[in-house]
Amino acid sequence: MYIRRIICVAMILAAVCVADDKKPQPAAQPAAATPAAVNSQDYLIGDSDVLAINVWHEAELTRVVPVRPDGKISLPLLGDVQASGLTPAQLQAKLTQQLRSLLENPEVTVIVQESHSKHFSIVGQVVKPGSFDLSQRITVLDAIALAGGFRDFAKVKKIYVLRIGPGGKEQRLPFNYKRVVDGDMTQNFHLEPQDTIVVP
């Protein structure tokens, strides 16, 4: 009798194990997507970028700040600090130097949390006019391709690029699509942040 009970218990346990094995297992969750990291070695901070400033053991100074249109950020104790035109490493060194008179051995980290300054626009007779990312170097011809090409009545010999030059002066750079596709690549220059391509 005792042996039969042991056998019955063993059979019940085996059945339970089999049932558990047949239960649907939860699907593996994909890893959360993370934004592409900005290369801190050569990335130049620009207007509208969002920076994460971390000062070790100083919660009051650790914060996320936008770069204002004048190229500056505002921080407690330091006030307005020029950020535009510097790499994150250069800004980090600058903040560390300024904090040395206020803190003992400050440790500062600067991360570009959101990049909004590196873009160009294309307007006029293209399929997809709008603003596009300029995190990589591209030419005018590349930009036209990104915008889906020309509409039917585009004046491809009269395209130009509006660029803000030194001192805020606006420059108008011509681009003749016909000459470029025929092999004259002298006009197929690289775009700069804030450029606007006009396709009449």
Are 175 and 187 within 8 A, CB to CB? yes
Q: How confident is the model over 100-150, as pLDDT tens digits? A: 988 989 999 999 988 877 889 999 999 999 998 887 789 999 999 999 999
Among 27, 32, 74, 35, smallest CA distance to 53 is for 74
Query: What is the rounded distance in angstroms from the CA atom of residue 116 to the CA atom of residue 121?
Result: 13
The percentage of the chain sitting over the pLDDT mark of 70, rounded to a whole number, equals 80
* Coil vs helix vs strand at 93: helix
The percentage of the chain sitting over the pLDDT mark of 90, rounded to a whole number, equals 54
Average pLDDT over residues 10-36: 41
176: pLDDT strictly greater than 90: yes
Quick one: 50-114 is in which CATH superfamily? wza like domain (3.30.1950.10)
DSSP 3-30: HHHHHHHHHHHHHHHHHHHHSPPPPPPP
**119-199 has CATH 3.40.190.10 classification:** no
What pLDDT shows up at residue 41? 64
Fold match between domain 50-114 and domain 119-199: no
Per-residue pLDDT band for 98 (boundaries 50, 70, 90) equals: very high
Per-residue pLDDT band for 38 (boundaries 50, 70, 90) equals: low
What pTM was computed for the model? Answer: 0.55
Query: What is the rounded distance in angstroms from the CA atom of residue 76 to the CA atom of residue 29?
Result: 41
Reduced DSSP (H G I as helix, E B as strand, rest coil) percent helix, strand, coil of the chain, to 5: 25, 30, 45
Q: What residue spans define the domains of the chain?
A: 50-114, 119-199
Per-residue pLDDT band for 20 (boundaries 50, 70, 90) equals: very low
